[in-house]
Structure 1
Amino acid sequence: MRIADGSSTLETAGADLDAGDGRVILHGRWTADQGPAVESASARIAAQGRRQPVLVDLSGLARLDTLGAWVLERTRAEIEAAGGRLAYAGARPEHRILLGEMGLREPEPAPRDARNPVVRLLDGTGRRVARGGNEILSGIAFLGEVVAAGGRVARRPQTFRMAALVNQLEQVALRGVPIIVLISFLVGGIVAQQGIFQLQRFGAQSFVVNLIGLLILRELGVLLTSIMVAGRSGSAFTAEIGSMRMREEVDALRVMGLDPIEILILPRILALVIGLPILAFLGSLAALAGGGLTAAIYGGMTVDAFLARLQAAVSFHHFAVGLIKAPFMALTIGIIATIEGFAVEGSAESLGRHVTASVVKSIFMVIVLDGLFAVFFAAIDF
């Protein structure tokens, strides 16, 4: 019996079936452009395979592509699922490779975990702790690579891409000024308002200047700026490098003999280290301005009185504490963002997952670093 659509067996996919011994001789082109004929022939093969074993002869095929191979493997799976059997004969080497690649495989069932729930909880916690330790070691190793690349650039300054640094400074610092100044101004006003409401109970509303001055200059200004930079610039770094990984541009740089650390990472990290202290300084000024405006509105404090009280309450070392933290927080954000960017694989889901991880890890590490600095400065009474 002839199963074919069209008049030319060299052009149209088809199959000759022998109902006696179950032999099927394929002919024509089993390709994507012959989809209807391929489906029709495979349906007849499947019908015969449910009655008796089938031997498919591929020697007469003019051409076989992935669609034809997939349909044949799907038909084989259907026949075997119904208790029959299908085998191939006369397959050329390229046909065997294609059929092997298109083979339908059932996913292996996940092994059941019969352990006690407490043991599973402890096991999961231990694995997460170990994974966190490995990530810390990877970050230290990556930092070493960045430092080594910086040393190479220092020995050969002409290789450094100054244009890339200026561009990153524009993206990180210049374009980040409006949002950071605005949010810092609002936060400063909110802190001052709540401080005035609480201190009024004791008739000490003038001490709100001490509160916002020390809090903003030592802690809140640089911390708030670092969190916003992590969400804005850190996520951008991860997305940019991750997209380059997906398009294999990072591999192309290595093939051309260029170091991706020098080309992609150094300008971004330097821009963060330079730009974040500047943004923290501007954010602190904006927060103090917001606190001063709120003190004038809710506490009836004049500008001169606010400035005089502020000058008496804070000194340069309080301002220096915030600026000392800024480069370390910038370096932490840059290292985490670039590591997550290089970890992106070839899917949009991977890119989104690593961008999210970059922001979360950066904010977490910034807060941890701020706490460590607070303990350190308290220990040295600075």
Structure 2
Amino acid sequence: MRNWADFETVEGAGGPVLRVSGPLVVASIAPLDMRLREMTTLAAIDISKVSDIDTVGAWSIWRASTELDAKIEGASDKAQRLIEAVSNAKSTAPISPVRPKALERVPEAVGERVTEFATGVKDMLAFLGLTIMAFGALIRHPRRFPHLALVRQLELVGVSSLGIIGLMSFLIGIVIAQQGAVQLQQFGAEIYTINLTGRLTLRELGVLMTAIMVAGRSGSAFAAQIGTMKLTEEVDAMRTIGVSPIERLVVPRILAAVLMMPVLGFYSSVIAIIGGAFIANFALDIPFWTFLSRIREVVPMTDLWVGLIKAPVFGLIVAMSGCYQGMQVSGNAEEVGLRTTLAVVQAIFMVIVLDAFFAIFFTEIGWA
């Protein structure tokens, strides 16, 4: 049995007639459809020898007969029913909707974004409340506390990131010291490069760059891990057997980020200062150990406390964003990627905004 549609053009009484034979189904109609699209005149289409026909074949024949004003001859009962069905299903609606004008479209889009932001803030606060309740329940029932999960997350968030954070901080320290020295040399004040490097890294950049790195590294991992568990219904299975996903998945990650961020922030600041001392030894002829000893004299302890106070807050924001977006995953695997990206963007944005508020707050209380 042939598995393709055969056709030939013959001269009829009223003009050229296309005779079709064989199956007119989706798997075999391609050559015939291409031929029909090339033809400009046709009097009739004879499908009396068609062995089988489906909706695609009926639509191709009906479209050609409509465009070429050709009659359909020899249609079987099945073919006739399918042709009538596809002809009645014709739609005159535009393929894409008419795009609204800018004066309508822009305010509508802004309103949707504002509404989404307000809803997101409300849901995030609700998620924070659930986390606090879960943490309280674990305090009341310490046997349920996921110690092993916490240790594992401490390793992933803290120990495993020491290398990349150390390298980043070392290079940032070099950049700060080198660029600061270039500007200060114009005033003969290159010795203040030590002040600049020490205060800037301990107070701002050490903990800020660490938070951004943790957001990109651990925050995204939180969202992807929990999101994948949502898709594979592991979270639902945990609820079914009476295990709280917030206690087992969210609390260990948030605690790990909050506990490790001060350590990582301090570590980042120290490595950045070492990087500044390294470049100053070559570019400014300031001995390495002299640079480090001067740090103790020119950097007040308040700068260290400012960084240590901000660090756990940044860790909470990063972990909350990752876990929250992971718990919102639903539908398909594409949602995991979208939520992971959103978690990183949201965490970095909130960290920078909070850092600006902290800068103003500490200046107002005299910790400038």
Provide the TM-score with structure 1 as the length reference: 0.74
Q: Counterpart in 1 of 2:361?
A: 376
Q: Counterpart in 2 of 1:96?
A: none
Q: Counterpart in 2 of 1:98?
A: none
Equivalent pairs counted in the alignment come to 312
Cα separation, 2, equivalents of 1:284 and 1:117: 48
Pair 1:82 & 2:68 matched? no
Match of 2:305 among 320, 323, 326: 320
Residue range with higher mean Cα deviation, 308-317 or 335-344: 308-317
Cα separation, 1, equivalents of 2:113 and 2:55: 53
Q: Counterpart in 1 of 2:20?
A: none
Taking structure 1 as reference, are residues 76 and 191 closer, same or farther at Cα in structure 2, changes over 3 Å only?
A: farther
For residues 162-241 of structure 1, the aligned pairs below 5 Å read 162-241=147-226
Post-superposition shift, 1:317? Answer: 1.4
Cα separation, 2, equivalents of 1:76 and 1:210: 87
Taking structure 1 as reference, are residues 149 and 77 closer, same or farther at Cα in structure 2, changes over 3 Å only?
A: farther
Deviations 1:27-77 (A, max 9, x none): xxxxxxxx99xx964449976997799988xxxxxxxxxxxxxxx9xx977
Deviations 1:181-227 (A, max 9, x none): 11100110111000111111111000001101111000000000000
Cα separation, 2, equivalents of 1:305 and 1:198: 21
Post-superposition shift, 1:127? Answer: 1.6
Q: Counterpart in 2 of 1:287?
A: 272
Residue range with higher mean Cα deviation, 274-283 or 285-294: 274-283
Cα separation, 2, equivalents of 1:285 and 1:207: 18
Amino acid paired to 2:296: Q
Post-superposition shift, 1:304? Answer: 3.7
Amino acid paired to 1:288: I
Post-superposition shift, 1:118? Answer: 2.7
Post-superposition shift, 1:108? Answer: 9.1
- SS in structure 1 at match of 2:285: coil
Cα separation, 1, equivalents of 2:319 and 2:115: 23
8 Å CA contact 1:187, 1:290 repeated in 2 = yes
8 Å CA contact 2:55, 2:82 repeated in 1 = no
Which structure 2 segments of 5+ residues have no match?
4-26, 29-49, 63-71
Post-superposition shift, 1:379? Answer: 1.0
8 Å CA contact 2:238, 2:245 repeated in 1 = yes
- SS in structure 1 at match of 2:317: helix
For residues 1-382 of structure 1, the aligned pairs below 5 Å read 41-43=52-54, 79-83=84-88, 111-114=97-100, 116-382=101-367
Which structure 1 segments of 5+ residues have no match?
6-34, 57-71, 86-104
Identity of aligned residues (%): 41
Post-superposition shift, 1:257? Answer: 1.3
Provide the TM-score with structure 2 as the length reference: 0.77
Post-superposition shift, 1:81? Answer: 2.0
